[in-house]
């Protein structure tokens, strides 16, 4: 199978790459600075026939166009929009508006840009899927602590965008849904997080593998639980 994974240079994205390579899949893995993605470059040397690395900044159209050119006339079976940013926007009485705009650009509009650009490649697959990695912090119903304006708002917007995508793309046979990876021990999640990347990705891949039309537009957790919007 052919996968495209954004934000693949570390953490959850890198773990996706490692596990999918072990399963024999072909992957186009993206990073904003591929030359500095040492672990990803090392994997590329070991899996020359399975792994391609592409520079991608989801806020820059030229890098998205280059990704489309790299894919060429191949089909993409699964697009995993994993790349994201988590920056503080400050308290409500002293908001950093630029942090809000930047988060929205990367976390919400970015996955939409990439998904839109790769639609022709996804339509060349027999069972195409778009998986947008979100966060429970984007759940309105689950928000009991407030704060984290930039991250919460951008992920809640991604959830809504994916819900619309699922409806719009259903006639074209493309299954789109969001998945929360859990609180994972990564640079973003911190070392106090509850699970490691291997546990998170192993379980998310099971959900992705089993996803069908009934999965479209759902908000799932890494362990299969459904999260309220």
For residue 149, the domain's CATH number is: 3.40.50.720
Q: What is the pLDDT of residue 184?
A: 85
- 28/23 Cα distance (integer angstroms): 15
Residue ranges in 72-190 assigned as alpha helix (H)? 97-104, 110-117, 119-123, 149-169
> What is the domain count for the chain?
1
Q: Per the domain annotation, does 229 fall within a domain?
A: no
Q: What is the pLDDT of residue 191?
A: 74
**Is residue 108 a contact partner of residue 157, using CB atoms and an 8 Å limit?**
yes
Give me the residues of the chain with pLDDT under 70, please.
Answer: 187-190, 192-194
Q: Per the domain annotation, does 228 fall within a domain?
A: no
Q: Per the domain annotation, does 115 fall within a domain?
A: yes
- Please classify residue 92 by burial: count the beta carbons closer than 10 Å to its beta carbon, then call 0-12 exposed, 13-18 middle and 19+ buried: exposed
- 32/54 Cα distance (integer angstroms): 8
Q: Which residues contact 49 (CB under 8 A, 6 or more apart)?
A: 26
- 3-state SS, residue 65: helix
Q: Per the domain annotation, does 213 fall within a domain?
A: yes
Using the Cα atoms of residue 4, residue 168, residue 84 and residue 103 in order, give the sign of their dihedral.
positive
Q: Per the domain annotation, does 194 fall within a domain?
A: yes
By residue range, what is the domain housing residue 112? Answer: 2-221
Q: Which residues of 187-215 are buried (b: 16+ CB within 10 A; e: fewer)?
A: eebeeeeebebebbbebbbebbeebeeeb
Q: What is the pLDDT of residue 187?
A: 65
Q: What is the pLDDT of residue 186?
A: 75
Q: What is the pLDDT of residue 47?
A: 97
């Amino acid at each position: 199978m052919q996968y495209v994974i954004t934000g693949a240079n570390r953490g959850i994205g890198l773990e996706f790459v490692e596990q999918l390579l072990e399963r024999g899949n072909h992957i186009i893995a993206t990073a904003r600075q591929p030359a500095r993605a040492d672990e990803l470059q090392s994997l590329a040397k070991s899996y020359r026939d399975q792994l391609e690395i592409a520079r991608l900044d989801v806020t820059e159209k030229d890098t998205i166009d280059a990704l489309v050119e790299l894919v060429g006339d191949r089909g993409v079976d699964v697009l995993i929009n994993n790349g994201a940013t988590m920056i503080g926007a400050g308290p409500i009485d002293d908001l950093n508006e630029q942090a809000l705009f930047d988060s929205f650009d990367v976390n919400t509009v970015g996955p939409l840009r990439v998904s839109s650009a790769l639609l022709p490649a996804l339509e060349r697959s027999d069972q195409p899927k778009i998986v947008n990695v979100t966060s429970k912090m984007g759940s309105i119903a689950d928000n009991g602590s407030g704060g984290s304006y930039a991250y919460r708002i951008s992920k809640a917007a991604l959830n809504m965008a994916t819900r619309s995508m699922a409806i719009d793309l259903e006639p074209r046979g493309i299954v789109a849904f969001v998945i929360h990876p859990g609180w994972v021990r990564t640079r973003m999640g911190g070392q106090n997080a509850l699970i490691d990347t291997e546990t998170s990705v192993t379980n998310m891949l099971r959900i992705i593998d089993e996803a069908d039309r009934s999965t479209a537009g759902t908000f799932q957790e890494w362990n299969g639980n459904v999260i309220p919007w």
